[in-house]
Amino acid sequence: MRVTIPVFILFLSCLLFGQSCSKDTQDLNLVRVQVETDSEESVRIYGIKDAPEAGVVVQKSYEKNFQWDGQVFSIEARCEDQNTLISIKVWVNNQLKADVSGNQYVTSGDILL
């Protein structure tokens, strides 16, 4: 009887400690974004983690990997030239979640993580 009470208390404390730790940590998703264009026109990309509010300006291609802790992710790309084809691909945890193309303005739409 003396041995089972400490073992039970140890088991109970491990169970409570394990549950409290799992609630404190949030799942991080590995996001990979690739943007490509068919011209030398400047393209402004919005929605990239740690990017300025005014977006990131790129030419031809852009790729970035980062961890995202939110529930929803979206990205958009714009340029002034209506003939520039913009392609956006988004992978989440190595699974392709968005593959969209269009001229002048393209958005991935909301990607639920």
User: Domain of 39?
Assistant: 27-112
Asked whether residue 60 is assigned to any structural domain, the reply reads: yes
d(CA 91, CA 98): 7
Convert the pLDDT of each residue in 21-45 to its tens digit.
Answer: 444 446 899 999 999 999 999 999 9
| Beta strands, E only, 1-112 | 29-37, 42-46, 56-59, 61-68, 72-73, 76-78, 85-92, 95-103, 105-107, 111-112
Compute how many other C-beta atoms are within 10 angstroms of the C-beta atom of residue 84: 19
Convert the pLDDT of each residue in 66-106 to its tens digit.
Answer: 999 989 999 999 999 999 999 999 999 999 999 999 999 99
Whole-number pLDDT of residue 90: 97
Asked whether residue 66 is assigned to any structural domain, the reply reads: yes
Asked whether residue 16 is assigned to any structural domain, the reply reads: no
Mean pLDDT of the chain: 85
Q: Nearest-CA neighbor of 37 among 26, 49, 45, 47?
A: 45
Asked whether residue 12 is assigned to any structural domain, the reply reads: no
Asked whether residue 91 is assigned to any structural domain, the reply reads: yes
